[in-house]
A and B are shown apart, each in its own frame.
Chain A
Amino acid sequence: MTKISVRVDQENVTDDVEPRMLLVQYLREKLGKTGTVIGCDTSNCGACTVHLNGRSVKSCNVLAVQADGGVVDTIERLADDDGTLHPVQVAFRECHGLQCGFCTPGMIMQSVDLLNENPDPTEEEVRLGLEGNLCRCTGYHNIVKSVLYAAELNKRGANA
């Protein structure tokens, strides 16, 4: 067992974990944060995307021990405590950016990262930025629309 200290969704946690434990397993099985899901066995689908030290990563392809000393943010802390949704969540709801919803936690976390880096992306930049996230339902159009609309909402928020 290896001791790790991580700040997850704004709370400090310290745990003994098996070195082989994946970050996604740690989040789901140890911390009960099942908002982050597992969609594949090959690190291709992006459903498990969380932020590690402020940048998006596939949490199925990171060991929990590699997050030691770091900060992890998941879909579960994206909305405010009072339930107010994050602009990207609002946009996915408004633009029908999901059908079954399985890819959505990862899509949203990747979209948040994308907009942090590029607040005003073109459609092409959105498509490229989401290339590591697969969706079996929507055909992507409404997801792209959602991200562009979220950028719009962020701009409005900034000007309000």
Chain B
Amino acid sequence: MIPARFDYVAPTSVEEALQALAEHGDEAKILAGGQSLLPVLRMRLNAPEWVIDLGKIDALRGIRDDGDAIVIGALTTHHDVMHDALVEEHALLIKKAATEVADAQVRHRGTFGGALAHADPAGDLGAPALALGAEFVIAGSGGTRTVGADDFFVDLFETAIGEDEILTEVRIPKHTGWGAHYAKFVRVAHQWPIVAVAATVKADGGTISEARVGLTNMGSTPLRARGVEEALAGATASEDGVREAAAKAADGTNPPSDLNGSAEYRRHLATVLTRRAVAAAAGG
């Protein structure tokens, strides 16, 4: 199927894009890589009157070093994130998760900002962004504001980005030297995760000193497994050493039940994947 008719603009600056949004407001949809939006339009699950294509705003692309953080432009593709030296050095968890998104073709088009703005609870980038304490820079007609990861994800497919706003970049505090692993459980290749666990840890001489753990598809938003994080401090960097802490992974979660598995099954998966992800991140 093809999308229903819409009018189209491709602004070349954020200001122009905001203007177009202000004009067409709730009848408009922003287009980034299109890898989530175009399937939705083709299925006619949504039929906006206007599509505002950010693709020509070069200022939104690229990754830069900003002191204690790296800054990823919203339009940077998954492929470019995966292969970026700054990401590898300071936010290895993001690299690991981006590598697991979809397939090569989709990663060539899909964008970091688009995936986070889309806020699919099964999306692979929300949990790592949350775990690393990302900050989301959002531009609107009144200027720019920054929203912390804990406040960005509001509900299923809903974020703190307002209807007349654009996500411009994401700041990821540096976690230089931290090990990382993204454990994604799928039945067939290039699928969305049934459950996934994003873990990054600081380990010294076989002992974990600090850990961050994010959960994918264990509720309507990505979740942070704070109980696990606390219990991991001082744990031995091995699957056995982290077993007790990982057992808390499903605490306070509210996973869906669907054709891929019951909520109970997902709770079990979360503990197993947390154990594996943390041990792998710690090099144990």
Q: Chain A residues in contact with chain B, CB under 8 A?
A: 2, 18-22, 25, 41-44, 46, 49, 52, 55-58, 61-63, 65-66, 68, 110, 113-114, 128-129, 131-133
Contacts and interface: CB of A to CB of B under 8 A. Distances in A.
A57 B31 CA distance: 16
Given A62-B109, A66-B53, 6 more contacts: A25-B2, A43-B39, A55-B108, A61-B39, A63-B31, A132-B102
Contact of B105 (A46, A65, A128): A46
Contacts of B4: 20
A42 B7 CA distance: 23
Interface string B174-185: 000000000000
Shortest Cβ-Cβ A-B pairs, 9 listed: A132-B103, A19-B8, A131-B189, A55-B108, A20-B3, A131-B190, A58-B105, A131-B103, A56-B105
B93 interface: no
Given A19-B51, A65-B10, A65-B53, A57 B42 contact: no
Contacts of B10: 65, 68
Interface in B9-50: 10, 31, 34-35, 38-39, 41-43
A2 B5 CA distance: 13
B41 to A, nearest CB: 8
Given A41-B42, A65-B10, A66-B34, A132 B105 contact: yes
Nearest to A43: B39
A15 to B, nearest CB: 14
B6 interface: yes
Size category, B interface: 20 to 34
Interface of B: 1-8, 10, 31, 34-35, 38-39, 41-43, 51, 53, 55, 79, 102-106, 108-109, 189-190
Contact of B38 (A43, A68, A129, A133): A43
A46 B51 CA distance: 25
Given A62-B34, A65-B10, A68-B10, A46 B103 contact: yes
Given A131-B189, A132-B105, A22 B2 contact: yes
A21 B55 CA distance: 16
A93 B141 CA distance: 57
Nearest to A46: B105
B105 A49 contact: yes
21 contacts: A18-B5, A19-B7, A20-B4, A20-B6, A20-B41, A21-B2, A22-B2, A25-B2, A41-B43, A43-B35, A44-B190, A62-B38, A62-B109, A63-B38, A65-B8, A66-B53, A110-B104, A113-B104, A114-B104, A132-B102, A132-B103
